[in-house]
Amino acid sequence: MNGKRYLVGSIVIFVYIFIIEWLFHGLLMRGWYNEHLELLRPEAEAGAFFIWMILGLLLFAFGFCFIFIKGYENKGIGEGFRYGLYVGLAFAVSTSLIEYSVFPYPGTWVIGWIIGYLIIMILAGMIFSAIYRPRPA
């Protein structure tokens, strides 16, 4: 394991996930969320939970990158694409469907989450695979 590339890559993935989540939920999904504000925390209350979101994103970024390294095959961006797809299917799609069965979320949210998270995870895998690959001598 290359510790420096792992650390740098994990930080990059954290920043990427933070920004893309803000764009995805804050801009793209906002209209759908506004139709069902009763299902979300009030904005005044949500700020108190921001630190938990940051912690969750940090844990995700470092875990995402660590698991990638454990199966690393040095096969380039395609390996990152495949890894991101697997993570998206294993976690994002399954979690979205489970949450849909438990919480009264509209189907449009779930469809948006599934599509969005698959894209987000695929891009994250590709980004990290580009960062982690060995540099030519």
Classify residue 17: in a domain, yes or no. yes
Classify residue 116: in a domain, yes or no. yes
User: What's the Cα-to-Cα distance from 66 to each of 57, 71, 133, rounded to whole Å?
Assistant: 14, 9, 14
Classify residue 76: in a domain, yes or no. yes
Domain tally, the chain: 1
User: What's the Cα-to-Cα distance from 54 to each of 13, 59, 85, 132, rounded to whole Å?
Assistant: 13, 9, 23, 23
Classify residue 50: in a domain, yes or no. yes
Model confidence over 8-40: pLDDT tens digits?
A: 999 999 999 999 999 999 999 999 999 998 998
Q: Where are the alpha helices (DSSP H) in 24-93?
A: 30-34, 43-46, 50-70, 77-87
Classify residue 81: in a domain, yes or no. yes
Mean pLDDT over residues 58-62, rounded? 98
Classify residue 119: in a domain, yes or no. yes
* Confidence class for position 137, pLDDT limits 50, 70, 90: low
What residues make up the domain containing 104?
3-37+46-132
Q: Residue 46: its pLDDT value, please?
A: 86
Classify residue 69: in a domain, yes or no. yes
Classify residue 137: in a domain, yes or no. no
Q: Residue 43: its pLDDT value, please?
A: 84
